[in-house]
Structure 1
Amino acid sequence: MKSSSATMPIGDLAAMFGIAPHVLRHWEEMGLLAPERTSTGRRVYGPAEATRIVLIQISKEGGLSLEQTRQLLADAADRDARRELLRRHSEELRQRIAAAQAALDVVEHAAQCEAEDALACPQLRAKVTGRLPRGLSG
């Protein structure tokens, strides 16, 4: 990576992202980042690394492991393998989003329910009963 005036030391960049410098060093060890080095060996980061940090954070927020993220960010990544990993993971995310939305619906209904006992509310019970395993009833 060619040196530029838009570089910053590890501590400054880590602080901008609200993470500890050791996290960036770990990501470098894993092959996720490749910062420049000064003549004294200090790491300096430029815009390309900042972009990769955002991609790493998005991947983590989406539930990808650091190893999966490394595979996705590798320059020589197999395009078909990358697409398959992302396709599978996008389906997992859709399922997690659907489950979170269903939970939010129950929580919001319970918060606004006029029933004295939320568990006695027919609408809430219908939402909960629909998730009981077969053979059980609420």
Structure 2
Amino acid sequence: MMVRTIGEVAAEVGVEPHVLRHWEQVGALTVSRDGNGYRTYDDRAVEQARTVLKLRRVGLSLPEVIAAMAPKKAAAQAIVTAKIDDLEGEITRTRQAITFLRHTAECRHRYLDDCPECASFVREP
């Protein structure tokens, strides 16, 4: 098992060292210390850092990341399922926005208020 420093892991994972320190501080990352108190990252800690980063990139907050990585599978699944629901809602809202904007760009009316379709889009939540 290879042990790495915070700088090596930060470069490998693609984050700044302060990010790894923060993740450790809030409990999203578990890191060992050597006899001098320096952080040491084994393969497990590096994979954990990669997992935290991936979960952050797909939109989970740090508290959600911590919950998603919890040993209790049901708690982790609840967080992930809630994020899926949020993302699906964003997709729906984005599709509606694209539909509205496409119509607006192609609308034959001079003013959006003059167009019945534009007016119906505006009234939608």
Tell me the TM-score normalized by structure 2: 0.72
Q: How many residues align?
A: 119
Shift of 1:7: 1.5
Shift of 1:66: 0.4
Q: 1:127 to 1:97 in 2, by over 3 A?
A: farther
Relative to total residues, which structure has the larger helix share, 1 or 2? 2
Q: How does 1:126-137 map to 2 (within 5 A)?
A: 131-134=121-124
**Cα RMSD (Å):** 3.0
Stretch moving more, 22-31 or 84-93: 84-93
Shift of 1:102: 5.2
Identity of aligned residues (%): 25
Residue from 78, 83, 86 that aligns with 2:80: 86
Tell me the TM-score normalized by structure 1: 0.67
The residue number in structure 2 matching 1:95 is 89
Q: How does 1:1-138 map to 2 (within 5 A)?
A: 4=1, 6-75=2-71, 77=72, 79-101=73-95, 118=105, 120=107, 131-134=121-124
CA contact 1:62–1:93 (8 Å) conserved in 2: no
Q: 1:51 to 1:130 in 2, by over 3 A?
A: farther
Paired AA for residue 95 in structure 1: G
Give distance in 2, aligned partners of 1:127 and 1:56: 44
5+ long unaligned stretches in structure 2: 110-114
5+ long unaligned stretches in structure 1: 111-117
